[in-house]
Amino acid sequence: MSAPADGSPPDGSPVTGPTEEAAEAPKVGVDEWVARHEERRQAHGGLTGAVIQGWDRVPPAGHLAILFAPFVVFGFVANEGNLYRYGLITLIYALLALGLNVVVGFAGLLDLGYIAFFGVGAYAFGIMASGHSGHHLPAELAVPIAVAFTALVGLLLGLTSWRVSGDYLAIVTLFFLQAFVIFVNNANGGPSDWSYPFVGKVDITGGANGLDQIDPLRFFGYSISTTKGYYFYTLISLAVLMAMLFFVNRSRTGRAWRSLREDPLAAEVMSIPVNRLKLLAFVFGAAIAGYCGTIFGSVQSGAFPGDYDVGLLITIYAIAILGGLGSIGGVVIGALIVNGVPELLRSSENARLLFYGALVVGLFLAMRPWYRPVVVIVGTIAFGFVVHGVAGAVWPRGTAGHIQGGARLAGPLEHWVLLPTHPGRIGGWAYFALIAMALVLTLVRGWWRTLLLIPTLYLAAFVWENELVEQVSGATRLILLGALLVVIMNVRPSGIFGTARVEVV
Partner 1 sequence: MRLLELRDVSKAFGGLTVVDHLTMHVDEGEIVSVIGPNGAGKTTVFNLITGIFDVDSGEIVFEGERVSGLPPHKITDRGIARTFQSLRLFLNMTVLENVMAATYGHTKASVVEAMLQLPRSRREEKRIRALAEEKLAFFGQRLVGYRHDQYAYSLSYANRRRLEIARAMATNARLLLLDEPAAGMNPNETHEITELIGELREKAGYSILVIEHDMHVVEGISDRVIALDHGVKIAEGSFDEVATHPLVVEAYLGARAQEEAV
Per CB under 8 A, residues contacting partner 1 are 11, 29-31, 34-35, 38, 244-245, 247-248, 250-256, 258-259, 261-263, 265-274, 280, 284, 326, 499-501, 503
Q: C-beta of 57: minimal distance to partner 1 in Å?
A: 15
Task: Specify whether the CB–CB gap between 310 and 175 falls below 8 A.
Answer: no
Instruction: Give least dist CB 485 to partner 1, A.
Output: 23
- Amino acid (1-letter code) at residue 29: G
CB 296 within 8 A of CB 146: no
CA distance 99 to 245: 9
Contact 91, 234 (CB under 8 A): yes
CB of 151 to partner 1, least distance (A): 13
For residue 97, give the nearest of 84, 113, 81, 114 by alpha carbon: 114
Q: Residue 43 Cβ, how far from partner 1 at the closest point, in Å?
A: 15
User: Which residue stretches of 25-59 are H helix?
Assistant: 31-42, 46-57
Q: Which is nearer to partner 1, 199 or 265 (CB)?
A: 265
Q: Tell me if residue 196 falls in helix, strand or coil.
A: strand
Provide CB contacts within 8 A for 167, sequence distance 6+: 110
288 or 303: whose CB is closer to partner 1?
288
Contacts 24+ apart (CB under 8 A), 402-407: 403/465, 404/348, 404/465, 404/469, 404/470, 405/347, 405/348, 405/349, 405/469, 405/472, 407/348, 407/349, 407/352
Q: Which is nearer to partner 1, 11 or 20 (CB)?
A: 11
The verdict on whether omega for the bond into residue 9 sits within 30 degrees of 0, i.e. cis, is no
Q: Is residue 331 a contact partner of residue 320, using CB atoms and an 8 Å limit?
A: yes
Q: How far is the CB of 272 from partner 1 (least distance, A)?
A: 5
Residue number, 162 or 222, with CB nearest to partner 1: 162
Q: Which residue, 37 or 228, has its beta carbon nearer to partner 1?
A: 37
Amino acid type, 47: L
Name the residue nearer to partner 1 (CB basis): 11 or 167: 11
Which residue type occupies 17?
G
Give least dist CB 253 to partner 1, A.
Answer: 5
Query: Measured from the CB atom, is 252 or 425 closer to partner 1?
Result: 252
Distance between CA atoms of residues 326 and 109, nearest Å: 12
To partner 1, the closest distance from the beta carbon of 334 in angstroms equals: 19
Minimum distance of partner 1 from residue 278's CB (angstroms): 13
Residue number with CB closer to partner 1 (42 or 192): 42
Residue 284 CB contacts under 8 Å (≥ 6 apart), including other chains: 99, 102, 103, 154
Tell me the closest approach of the beta carbon of residue 256 to partner 1, in angstroms. 5
- Which has the closest alpha carbon to 109: 293, 312, 294, 320? 320
Distance between CA atoms of residues 498 and 473, nearest Å: 31
As measured in angstroms, the least distance from the Cβ of 244 to partner 1 is 4
Nearer to partner 1, 29 or 389 (CB): 29
- Between 155 and 500, CB nearer to partner 1: 500
